[in-house]
């Protein structure tokens, strides 16, 4: 099984700042990587697939990059609604696996 490790576990930032979230895979997943956002009491929301393709309706301030074993989600200028938990997920191999999440909190 591919182990996905996200860092940092918690990121404390202020609105307007740039946030960088990392996801590392225990072996290469190519570009077969997804990012989700989850707010309390809500289901996850798809942000990015194929490592860098924004899903329908996702604002341009969300950018995915990387491939292989290292991927990154960048939020260029944090808005109040962006404070949430973010998960990466690989679909390169079964079983699909998620990272443990990065909590993005208001500083």
Partner 1 sequence: DVRLLESGGGLVQPGGSLRLSCAASGFTFGDIPMNWVRQAPGKGLEWVSTIGDNTYYSDSVMGRFTISRDNSKNTLYLQMDSLRADDTAMYYCARRIKVSGTGAFDLWGQGTTVTVSS
Binding site for partner 1 (CB under 8 A): 1, 32, 34, 36, 38, 43-46, 49-50, 55-56, 87, 89, 91, 94-101
Q: Give the nearer residue to partner 1 in terms of CB position, either 72 or 96.
A: 96
Q: Give the nearer residue to partner 1 in terms of CB position, either 6 or 75.
A: 6
Q: Give the nearer residue to partner 1 in terms of CB position, either 34 or 73.
A: 34
What is the per-residue DSSP string for the chain? ---EEEE-SEEEE-TTS-EEEEEEESS--TT-EEEEEE-TTS--EEEEETTTEEPTT--TTEEEEEETTEEEEEESS--GGG-SEEEEEE-SSSSPEE---EEEEE-
What's the closest the beta carbon of residue 34 comes to partner 1, in angstroms? Answer: 4
What's the closest the beta carbon of residue 12 comes to partner 1, in angstroms? Answer: 19
Q: Give the nearer residue to partner 1 in terms of CB position, either 21 or 77.
A: 21
What's the closest the beta carbon of residue 14 comes to partner 1, in angstroms? Answer: 25
Cα–Cα distances (Å) from 14 to 10, 59, 85, in that order, read 13, 19, 15
């Amino acid at each position: 099984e591919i182990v996905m490790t996200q860092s940092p576990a918690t990121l404390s930032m202020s609105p307007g700042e740039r946030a960088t979230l990392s996801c590392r895979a225990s072996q290469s997943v190519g570009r077969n990587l997804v990012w989700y956002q989850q707010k309390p009491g809500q289901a996850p929301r798809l942000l990015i697939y194929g490592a860098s393709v924004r899903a329908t309706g996702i604002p341009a301030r969300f950018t995915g990059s990387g491939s292989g074993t290292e991927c990154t989600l960048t939020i260029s200028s944090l808005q109040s609604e962006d404070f949430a938990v973010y998960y990466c997920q690989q679909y390169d191999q079964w079983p699909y696996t998620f990272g443990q999440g990065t909590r993005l909190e208001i500083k």
